[in-house]
């Protein structure tokens, strides 16, 4: 059964999640973890440099998990962004993502991971959009060679499961060692908007 969590409960559960997981575009250096302090980071620099948490998040659910994995694994953090951000309006984003997916369009990335070769393990986080991985995740996987790396997907969804997202990751990161995904049902914008609409219409 899927795990259903509100944002507050998601924050509370995040340490458990992490423990169980085991301009034009420019190259961007992933941000190292600072939670252990500078001396610890210096002493454990090689470990910190071997793990990357790369994620895309719209509503913030996937970002919460990414942040906790970063702390638990002393990892570098990289937020995947499209060069042109998706609309703030939820319905506009849904419509745009549907058009992009149908057309096979890969939105240009805002930046890329610098020195990807230093990482042995990549935690890859994203939400499910339209029963698949968001188009910007496809762009990220096309632009970054993950061959030989262990890829650990962590995925949030609104109650309908993973769709074909793992097929997408497997195809576009075919040279990687792909682990079974961690998935979690989290707050869904559509559900929130429907409740607010009903309240306003009453």
> In which band, very low, low, confident or very high, does the pLDDT at 116 lie, cut at 50, 70 and 90?
very high
Give the model's pLDDT for residue 54.
98
The three-state DSSP-derived secondary structure of the chain is CCCECCHHHHHHHHHHHHHHCCCCCEEECCECCCCCCHHHHHHCHHHHHHEEEEECCCCCHHHHHHHHHHHHHCCEEEECCECCCCCCCHHHHHHHHHHHHHHCCCCCECEEECCHHHCCEEEEEEECECCECCHHHHHHHHHCCCCCCEEEEEEEECCCCCCCHHHHHHHHCCCCEECCCEEEECCCHHHHHHHHHHHHHC
pLDDT confidence of residue 49:
64
Q: Determine the pLDDT at residue 31.
A: 73
Pick from 1-15, 56-70, 163-177: least confident: 1-15
Supply 187's token pair.
């707050």
pLDDT at 64 over 50: yes
How many percent of the chain have pLDDT more than 70?
73
Nearest to 168 by CA among 139, 198, 197: 139
Q: State the pLDDT at residue 33.
A: 53
Contact call for residues 151 and 54 (beta carbons, < 8 A): no
Computed over every residue of the chain, the mean pLDDT equals: 82
CATH number assigned to the domain with residue range 7-201, chosen from the 4 options 3.40.190.10, 3.40.50.360, 1.10.760.10, 3.20.170.30 = 3.40.50.360
- Interval 3-57: pLDDT, tens: 344 544 454 444 444 445 554 455 666 776 543 333 333 334 444 469 999 999 9
Distances 152 to 23, 109, 121, 190 between C-alpha atoms, Å: 30, 21, 8, 27
Task: Assess contact for 130 and 97: CB atoms under 8 A.
Answer: yes
């Amino acid at each position: 059964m899927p795990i259903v969590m509100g944002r507050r409960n998601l924050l509370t559960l995040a340490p458990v999640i992490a423990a169980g997981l085991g301009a034009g575009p420019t190259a961007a250096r992933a941000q190292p973890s600072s939670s252990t302090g500078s001396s610890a980071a210096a002493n454990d620099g090689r470990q910190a440099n071997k793990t990357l948490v790369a994620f895309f998040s719209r509503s913030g659910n996937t970002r919460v998990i990414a942040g906790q994995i970063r702390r638990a694994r002393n990892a570098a953090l990289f937020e995947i962004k499209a060069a042109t951000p998706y609309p703030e309006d939820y319905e506009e984003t849904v419509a745009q993502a549907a058009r992009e997916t149908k057309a096979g369009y890969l939105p240009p990335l805002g930046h890329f991971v610098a020195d990807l070769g230093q990482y042995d393990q990549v935690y890859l986080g994203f939400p499910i959009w339209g029963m698949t991985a968001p188009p910007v995740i496809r762009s990220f996987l096309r632009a970054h060679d993950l061959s030989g790396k262990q890829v650990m997907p962590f995925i949030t969804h609104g109650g309908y499961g993973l769709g074909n997202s793992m097929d997408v990751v497997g195809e576009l990161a075919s040279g990687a060692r792909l682990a079974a995904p961690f998935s979690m049902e989290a707050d869904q914008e559509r559900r929130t908007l429907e409740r607010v609409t009903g309240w306003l219409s009453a």
